[in-house]
């Protein structure tokens, strides 16, 4: 028979939106089980919200509009932050950490900019900072990178880390509809916010890429270090062209360690829509699901897949961190420390080797292909595949070219040169091709 747990650990919950509501529910409904797992009873001391008069399904006495006073209470041991935003959230988290209270957060945007400051505060106070929920909802990614692969060398982390864009691109591929049509449907179904900019322009994924790259490569990477492109320019024609090459299109967050021509190790972090071969594991990740693909020197290839957003999945990740932080309090342990010892230089996008998909409208007459090929050759960019579609409404032709790997700067210069060719009416689409060894 299990002995009753008498010790208590106080939890302050900052925010009670979709995720916060689920966290509170789990803490209340599963109190006995959690106490048995932790070795102490987790008790909500208070919940900081903007509107304390709103019915939130909990004891109204728990609600407070004064987050700082809640954090400062002597009976609060762990602060769970699910309010979002940068300020005053950053100030609240620093206040908690400086007081020696562990912090659990799902705030990707804040972490992408201030992980160093927060980690330093945690280290000085010997407090824990956990953030599994900040990257891919319920999918365990942070902990495997920090702990399971701590003795290995991670070479690549590539993933679909935004459910909204994956829903849009998956439905464009399935239904053959235009981006604007599918975006509207995503809004109706609740997958896209009223202002979807953070998702469709890649800002959300860039924040997550910064966090993943920092952990995987022991190097401080911020959101501004991540090269970013969104999906707004992806067309139905691009989707169909990708199918012809046995590919699909996904918004990828790619974090890569590579050795440059001078023998120096560098880090690349980038987000953009890319062609992905259908045989690659990420190609089959559809709808609002997320997946993160990892390549490590000794472990080889690993993939983590599941629900990347939503109240219950994200709350599951928050609760995993909360239980870990609580156990550390009970047994006088510490969570993984911030590690940026490698301090590798961050490569600009121009230095990264990529493959390109270039679609253009051209004149339908002899010599066009030769003129186009000369522009690629002049910049040492090797062409892999050429497809031509004639009899377009404009009496021209559509030319689609896949390249072999080359420096991104050379490929970009080639595209700019193509735009100035008199035989090229327009360069209609430029995407990268990932997930191949060519």
Task: Report CA Rg, the chain.
Answer: 24
The domains located in the chain, with CATH, are: 8-137+312-331 (3.40.50.720), 142-307 (3.30.360.10), 349-433 (3.30.70.260)
Burial class (CB within 10 angstroms; exposed 0-12, middle 13-18, buried 19+) of 339: middle
Are 274 and 244 in contact by the 8 Å Cβ rule? The answer is no
- Give SS3 for 410: helix
Are 322 and 245 in contact by the 8 Å Cβ rule? The answer is no
429 phi and psi, to 5 degrees?
A: -160, 140
Are 146 and 129 in contact by the 8 Å Cβ rule? The answer is no
Element (H, E) at 114: helix 108-125
- Give SS3 for 49: coil
Contacts of 213 (CB under 8 A, 6+ apart): 157, 219, 221, 225, 226, 255, 267, 269
- Give the Cα separation of 37 and 55 in Å (integer): 31
- Give the Cα separation of 190 and 186 in Å (integer): 6
Vertex 31 angle, CA 9 and 42, to 5° = 10
Please count the other Cβ atoms lying within 10 Å of the Cβ belonging to residue 236. 16
User: Do the bridges between strand 247-259 and strand 154-160 make them parallel or antiparallel, or are there none, so unpaired?
Assistant: antiparallel
Q: What is the pLDDT of residue 191?
A: 83
Give how far the C-alpha of residue 268 lies from the chain's centroid of Cα atoms, to the nearest Å.
14
Q: Which residues are annotated as a binding site for NADP(+)?
A: 14-21
208, 250, 329, 405: which one is catalytic? 208
N residues, the chain? 438
What DSSP state is assigned to residue 346? B
The encoded tokens of residue 142 equal 């942070």
Vertex 434 angle, CA 216 and 223, to 5° = 45
Give how far the C-alpha of residue 223 lies from the chain's centroid of Cα atoms, to the nearest Å.
11
pLDDT, one tens digit for every residue, the chain (438 residues): 355 677 999 999 999 999 999 999 999 999 999 999 999 999 999 999 999 999 999 999 999 999 999 999 999 999 999 999 999 999 999 999 999 999 999 999 999 999 999 999 999 999 999 999 999 888 999 999 999 999 999 999 999 999 999 999 999 999 988 999 999 998 888 888 889 999 999 999 999 999 999 999 999 999 999 999 999 999 999 999 999 999 999 999 999 999 988 899 999 999 999 999 999 999 999 988 999 999 999 999 999 999 877 788 899 999 999 999 999 999 999 998 889 999 999 999 999 999 999 999 999 888 999 999 999 999 999 999 999 876 666 668 889 999 999 999 999 999 999 999 999 999 999 999 998 876
Are 317 and 106 in contact by the 8 Å Cβ rule? The answer is yes
Element (H, E) at 104: strand 102-105
Residue with tokens 């270090």: 225
Q: Which residues are annotated as a binding site?
A: 14-21, 108, 193
Q: What is the pLDDT of residue 125?
A: 95
Single pTM value for the model: 0.93
Q: What is the pLDDT of residue 1?
A: 39
Contacts of 50 (CB under 8 A, 6+ apart): 65
Among 13, 25, 158, smallest CA distance to 73 is for 13
419 classed as catalytic = no
Burial class (CB within 10 angstroms; exposed 0-12, middle 13-18, buried 19+) of 353: middle
Q: What is the pLDDT of residue 432?
A: 96
- Give SS3 for 362: strand
The encoded tokens of residue 404 equal 């072999």
Give how far the C-alpha of residue 111 lies from the chain's centroid of Cα atoms, to the nearest Å.
12
User: Do the bridges between strand 63-64 and strand 129-130 make them parallel or antiparallel, or are there none, so unpaired?
Assistant: unpaired
**161 preceded by cis ω (within 30°)?**
no
Q: How many helices (H) and strands (E) would you count in the chain? A: 15, 17
Please count the other Cβ atoms lying within 10 Å of the Cβ belonging to residue 55. 7
- Give the Cα separation of 126 and 338 in Å (integer): 12
Q: What is the pLDDT of residue 414?
A: 97
Q: What is the pLDDT of residue 437?
A: 74
- Give SS3 for 113: helix
Are 107 and 89 in contact by the 8 Å Cβ rule? The answer is yes
What are residue 41's DSSP bridge partners? 8
């Amino acid at each position: 028979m299990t002995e009753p747990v008498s010790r208590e650990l106080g939890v302050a919950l900052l925010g009670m939106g979709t995720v916060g509501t689920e966290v509170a529910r789990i803490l209340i409904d599963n109190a006995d089980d959690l106490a048995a797992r932790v070795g102490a009873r987790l008790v909500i001391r208070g919940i900081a919200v903007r509107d304390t008069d709103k019915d939130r399904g909990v004891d109204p006495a728990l609600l407070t509009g004064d987050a700082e006073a809640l954090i400062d209470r002597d009976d609060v041991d762990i602060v769970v932050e699910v309010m979002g935003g940068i300020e005053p959230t950053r100030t609240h988290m620093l206040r908690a950490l400086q007081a020696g209270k562990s912090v659990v957060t799902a705030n990707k945007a804040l972490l992408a900019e201030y992980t160093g400051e927060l980690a330093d505060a945690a280290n000085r106070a010997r407090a824990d900072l956990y953030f599994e929920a900040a990257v891919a909802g319920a999918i365990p990614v942070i902990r495997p990178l920090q702990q399971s692969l701590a003795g290995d060398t991670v070479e690549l982390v590539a993933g679909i880390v935004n459910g909204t864009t994956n829903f849009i691109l998956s439905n464009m591929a399935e239904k053959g509809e235009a981006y604007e049509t599918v975006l509207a449907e995503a809004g109706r179904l609740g997958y896209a916010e009223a202002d979807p900019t953070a998702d469709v322009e890649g800002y959300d994924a860039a924040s997550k890429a910064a966090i993943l790259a920092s952990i995987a490569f022991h190097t401080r990477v911020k959101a501004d270090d991540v090269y970013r492109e969104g999906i707004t320019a992806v067309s139905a024609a691009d989707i169909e062209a990708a199918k012809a090459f046995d590919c699909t299109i996904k918004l990828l967050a790619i974090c890569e360690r590579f050795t440059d021509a001078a023998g120096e190790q560098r880090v690349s972090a980038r987000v953009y829509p890319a062609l992905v071969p259908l045989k690659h594991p990420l190609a089959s990740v559809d709808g609002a699901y997320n997946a993160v693909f990892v390549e490590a020197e000794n472990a080889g290839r690993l993939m983590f897949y599941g629900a990347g957003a939503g109240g219950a999945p994200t709350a599951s990740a928050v609760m995993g961190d909360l239980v870990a932080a609580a156990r550390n309090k009970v047994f006088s342990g510490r969570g993984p420390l911030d590690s940026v010892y490698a301090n590798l230089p961050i490569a600009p996008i121009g230095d990264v080797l990529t493959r390109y998909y270039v679609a253009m409208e051209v004149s339908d007459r002899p010599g066009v292909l030769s003129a186009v090929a000369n522009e690629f050759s002049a910049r040492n960019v090797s062409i892999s595949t050429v497809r031509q579609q004639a009899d377009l409404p404009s009496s021209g032709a559509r030319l689609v070219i896949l390249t072999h790997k080359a420096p991104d700067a050379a490929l970009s210069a080639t595209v700019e040169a193509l735009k100035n060719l008199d035989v090229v009416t327009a360069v209609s689409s430029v995407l990268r091709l990932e997930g191949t060894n060519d």
